[in-house]
DNA sequence: TAATATCCGACTATATTGGTCGGCTTTTAG
DNA sequence: CTAAAAGCCGACCAATATAGTCGGATATTA
C-alpha cells in the first residue's frame, strides 16, 4: 500500500516550486539539497514531470526548474498516479488500471476496496498543490498520528 | 499503493471458510481450486494464517482448514497489515510502521496522507469478515466502478 | 497400508525500486 | 570567447520484494 520514494521526492520538489512560484527557476542542486533528494535521481524525476507538463526548465547558467502551471491546476492525485501507477488497492477496482478478475461474481470483499478507492481518489483529486500548500500554512506541522486520529474528519 | 497477491489470496480463502463456518474443514486443494490460487503457494499462506490464530488445521485424510475464530473477530485490516505490512501510504503517517522523516517540519503534504491513512484504517478495521460477508449477500456483485462512484457514501 | 492431508525449509525466477555514472548540449557571466 | 553552471539522457547496477515451485517429512484415517 505504500507509495514510492519517487513520488515522495517529486512532491517535495513540487511544493518547493509552489513556494517559489512566480519568482524564477530553481536549479536541481538547490532542489536536491533543500529536500534531501539524491541529485542524479532528482534529475530523472524532474524530467518526467516536465514531460507531464507540470514543470518547465530553462537550461544554461542561472537556469533551473519552475512550475509550468498554476498550483491549483496540479493535483496530488495526478502525481501519484503518474509515478506509482495506481491509486486503488486492487486492480479490479481501479479506473485507470482496471483488470478484470475471474472471481468477481463470487468475490465478497471487492466492495470494501471499492469504497476505499473512492475515498482515496476523492481526497487525492481534491488535493491541488495550491489547496494543500495554503492549508499547510495554517496548520501545525508536528502533529502526531494519535493526536490527529481523535480529531475527527476534516 | 497496491496490495499483494498474497493478501488477495488470503482473503479469498478466508471468505470461503466464512461461508463454510461451522461445517468442518476444507482441504487446501479445494480452497485452491475454488479461489484460483496456486496450491503450493496457498499452503504457505494458510500456514501463516494459522500462526496468526485466524484458522485452524486438522491434518490427515478428511483434514483441512477451518476458521479458528468467529468471523466477527477477524478484520480485513488485520489481514492486510499482516501480509502487506503497512496500511498507510507513507511511513511517516503509519502507526504500526512509523518512521520519522527529517522533512517533517517543512513537509506540506503530510496532512493529506494522514487523512487518507485515517480513512483507510477506519474502513479496514471496521470490516470484520462477518460484516463484509453478510453485506455482500444483499449487494449486486457486478457493479461497475463508475456506477458505484456516483453512489455516494455507504 | 495406501491415500490424502498438513507442514516446512530450500530454492528460484522475475520485476521493481532506487538509484549512479558519464558524457552531451545549452546558456550566460566575465 | 571561453569556462562555469545548468539541464538532458541513455546505460548501467545493486538490493529487495514478489510470487511462486519443489521435495520430502509427518500425521490421520478408511
Q: What DSSP letter does each residue of chain B carry, written as one string?
A: -PPPHHHHHHHHHHHHHHHTTTS--B-HHHHHHHHT--HHHHHHHHHHHHHTTSEEEE-STT-EEEESS-GGG-BHHHHHHHHHS--SSSGGG-STT----TTGGG-SSHHHHHHHHHHHHHHHHH-BHHHHHHHHHTS-S---HHHHHTT---
What are B113's three cell numbers? Answer: 496522507
Own/partner pairs for A109-115, CB < 8 Å, 24+ apart? A109/B11, A109/B15, A109/B76, A109/B127, A109/B132, A109/B136, A110/B141, A111/B132, A111/B135, A111/B136, A111/B139, A111/B143, A112/B76, A112/B123, A112/B124, A112/B127, A112/B132, A113/A88, A113/A89, A114/B143, A114/B145, A114/B148, A115/B123, A115/B154
Which residues, given as ranges, of chain B have pLDDT below 50? 149-154
Nearest to B37 by CA among B24, B52, B26: B26
A54 CA to D1 C1' in angstroms comes to 36
pLDDT of residue B147: 54
pLDDT in tens, A105-145: 999 999 999 999 999 999 999 999 999 999 999 986 666 65
pLDDT of residue B93: 95
CB-strand contact B38/D, under 7 Å:
yes
CB-strand contact A6/C, under 7 Å:
yes
pLDDT of residue A144: 60
DSSP state of A56: E
- Distance, in Å, from the CA atom of B120 to the CA atom of B103, rounded to the nearest integer, reads 24
Residue B16, Cβ neighbours under 10 Å: how many? 18
Q: Which residues contact B58 (CB under 8 A, 6 or more apart)?
A: B25, B64, B66
Residue at grid coordinates 478507492: A117
Helices and strands in chain A, H and E counts: 7, 2
pLDDT of residue B153: 31
pLDDT of residue B139: 80
The structural architecture, per CATH, of the domain B5-67 is Orthogonal Bundle (1.10)
pLDDT of residue A142: 61
Chain D: bases < 7 Å from a protein Cβ = 3-11, 18-23, 26-30
How close B48 gets to chain A, by Cα (Å)? 20
CB contacts < 8 A (A, B): 142
pLDDT in tens, B113-136: 999 999 999 999 999 999 999 999
The phi and psi torsions of B28 (rounded to 5 degrees) equal -55, -45
pLDDT of residue A152: 34
- Distance, in Å, from the CA atom of B70 to the CA atom of A116, rounded to the nearest integer, reads 25
CB-strand contact B57/C, under 7 Å:
yes
Which residues, given as ranges, of chain A have pLDDT below 50? 149-154
pLDDT of residue A67: 98
How close A137 gets to chain B, by Cα (Å)? 8
- Domain locations in chain A as residue ranges: 5-67, 74-138
pLDDT of residue B91: 96
Amino acid at each position: 500500500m505504500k507509495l514510492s520514494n519517487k513520488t515522495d521526492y517529486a512532491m517535495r520538489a513540487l511544493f518547493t516550486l509552489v513556494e517559489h512560484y512566480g519568482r524564477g527557476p530553481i536549479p536541481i542542486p538547490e532542489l536536491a539539497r533543500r529536500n534531501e533528494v539524491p541529485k542524479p535521481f532528482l534529475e530523472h524525476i524532474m524530467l518526467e514531470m516536465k514531460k507531464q507538463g507540470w514543470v518547465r526548465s530553462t537550461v544554461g547558467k542561472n537556469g533551473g526548474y519552475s512550475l509550468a502551471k498554476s498550483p491549483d491546476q496540479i493535483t496530488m492525485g495526478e502525481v501519484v498516479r503518474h509515478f506509482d501507477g495506481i491509486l486503488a488497492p486492487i486492480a479490479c477496482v481501479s479506473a485507470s488500471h482496471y483488470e478484470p478478475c475471474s472471481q468477481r461474481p463470487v468475490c465478497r470483499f471487492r466492495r470494501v476496496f471499492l469504497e476505499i478507492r473512492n475515498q482515496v481518489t476523492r481526497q487525492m483529486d481534491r488535493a491541488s498543490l495550491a489547496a494543500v500548500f495554503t492549508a499547510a500554512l495554517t496548520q501545525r506541522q508536528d502533529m502526531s498520528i494519535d493526536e490527529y486520529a481523535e480529531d475527527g474528519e476534516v
